[in-house]
Amino acid sequence: MRHRGETTMEDNHEVAYLKTGGILMKPVINADECTGCGLCETTDPETFKLNDDGIAIVIKEDGVDAAKLDEAIEQCPVECISKG
Ligand code: SF4
Protein backbone atom coordinates (compact mmCIF):
# COMPACT_ATOMS: atom_id res chain seq x y z
CA MET A 1 0.00 0.00 0.00
CA ARG A 2 1.22 3.47 -0.78
CA HIS A 3 1.21 6.10 1.96
CA ARG A 4 0.89 9.83 1.67
CA GLY A 5 4.25 11.55 1.18
CA GLU A 6 5.97 8.33 0.17
CA THR A 7 8.17 8.52 -2.91
CA THR A 8 8.60 5.61 -5.23
CA MET A 9 10.93 4.79 -8.09
CA GLU A 10 8.09 5.79 -10.40
CA ASP A 11 8.01 9.23 -8.80
CA ASN A 12 11.75 9.62 -9.25
CA HIS A 13 11.47 8.66 -12.89
CA GLU A 14 8.64 11.13 -13.27
CA VAL A 15 10.95 13.87 -12.00
CA ALA A 16 13.61 12.74 -14.48
CA TYR A 17 10.95 12.75 -17.17
CA LEU A 18 10.11 16.35 -16.45
CA LYS A 19 13.74 17.43 -16.20
CA THR A 20 14.56 15.93 -19.56
CA GLY A 21 11.81 17.86 -21.27
CA GLY A 22 9.35 15.02 -21.51
CA ILE A 23 11.46 12.13 -22.68
CA LEU A 24 11.96 9.45 -20.07
CA MET A 25 15.34 7.84 -20.57
CA LYS A 26 17.34 5.39 -18.60
CA PRO A 27 20.54 4.12 -20.22
CA VAL A 28 20.92 0.36 -20.21
CA ILE A 29 24.10 -1.51 -21.12
CA ASN A 30 24.20 -5.12 -22.19
CA ALA A 31 27.36 -6.04 -20.28
CA ASP A 32 27.68 -9.36 -22.12
CA GLU A 33 28.22 -7.49 -25.38
CA CYS A 34 30.36 -4.56 -24.13
CA THR A 35 33.95 -4.68 -25.41
CA GLY A 36 35.18 -1.96 -23.05
CA CYS A 37 36.22 0.38 -25.85
CA GLY A 38 35.36 3.40 -23.68
CA LEU A 39 33.62 5.46 -26.35
CA CYS A 40 30.52 5.92 -24.19
CA GLU A 41 32.60 7.20 -21.29
CA THR A 42 34.37 9.61 -23.61
CA THR A 43 31.03 10.82 -24.99
CA ASP A 44 29.31 11.27 -21.61
CA PRO A 45 31.57 10.69 -18.59
CA GLU A 46 28.77 11.85 -16.26
CA THR A 47 26.66 8.87 -17.32
CA PHE A 48 29.06 6.09 -18.31
CA LYS A 49 32.18 4.71 -16.69
CA LEU A 50 34.33 1.67 -17.24
CA ASN A 51 34.40 -0.50 -14.14
CA ASP A 52 37.45 -2.33 -12.78
CA ASP A 53 36.77 -5.19 -15.19
CA GLY A 54 36.86 -2.79 -18.14
CA ILE A 55 33.11 -3.03 -18.78
CA ALA A 56 30.92 0.04 -19.13
CA ILE A 57 28.44 0.77 -16.36
CA VAL A 58 25.79 3.45 -15.95
CA ILE A 59 26.61 5.83 -13.10
CA LYS A 60 23.77 8.31 -13.67
CA GLU A 61 20.32 7.08 -14.55
CA ASP A 62 18.14 10.14 -14.04
CA GLY A 63 18.40 13.46 -15.85
CA VAL A 64 20.59 12.04 -18.58
CA ASP A 65 21.47 14.39 -21.44
CA ALA A 66 19.30 13.12 -24.30
CA ALA A 67 21.64 14.26 -27.08
CA LYS A 68 24.68 12.67 -25.45
CA LEU A 69 22.81 9.44 -24.83
CA ASP A 70 21.78 9.29 -28.49
CA GLU A 71 25.40 9.95 -29.48
CA ALA A 72 26.68 7.20 -27.18
CA ILE A 73 24.11 4.76 -28.56
CA GLU A 74 25.10 5.66 -32.11
CA GLN A 75 28.84 5.36 -31.46
CA CYS A 76 28.85 2.08 -29.54
CA PRO A 77 30.51 -0.35 -31.98
CA VAL A 78 28.56 -3.36 -30.73
CA GLU A 79 25.22 -1.59 -30.20
CA CYS A 80 24.93 -2.65 -26.58
CA ILE A 81 23.53 0.63 -25.21
CA SER A 82 19.81 1.17 -25.22
CA LYS A 83 17.14 3.28 -23.55
CA GLY A 84 15.32 1.45 -20.83
S1 SF4 B 1 30.76 2.19 -26.31
FE2 SF4 B 1 29.69 0.21 -26.10
S3 SF4 B 1 31.30 -1.33 -26.25
FE4 SF4 B 1 32.31 0.62 -25.88
S5 SF4 B 1 32.56 0.69 -23.63
FE6 SF4 B 1 30.64 1.75 -24.12
S7 SF4 B 1 29.04 0.17 -23.95
FE8 SF4 B 1 31.02 -0.89 -24.08
Give the model confidence (pLDDT) of 5-44 as tens digits: 555 555 544 544 545 555 557 899 999 999 999 999 999 9
- Nearest C-alpha to atom 2 of ligand 1 is from which residue? 76
Whether the Cβ atoms of residue 73 and residue 28 lie closer than 8 Å to each other? no
Distance CA 64, CA 46 (A): 9
CB-neighbour burial class of residue 72 (10 A; exposed 0-12, middle 13-18, buried 19+): buried
pLDDT given for residue 62 in this prediction:
81
Q: What is the pLDDT of residues 61-70, one digit of tens each?
A: 788 888 999 9
Distance CA 62, CA 53 (A): 24
Whether the Cβ atoms of residue 2 and residue 8 lie closer than 8 Å to each other? yes
- Ordered by where they begin, the domains of the chain are 9-83 (3.30.70.20)
Q: For a substitution probing ligand 1, which of 29, 58, 70, 74 has the most ligand atoms within 8 Å of its CB? A: 29
The model's pTM: 0.73
Distance CA 56, CA 12 (A): 24
Q: For a substitution probing ligand 1, which of 29, 35, 79 has the most ligand atoms within 8 Å of its CB? A: 35
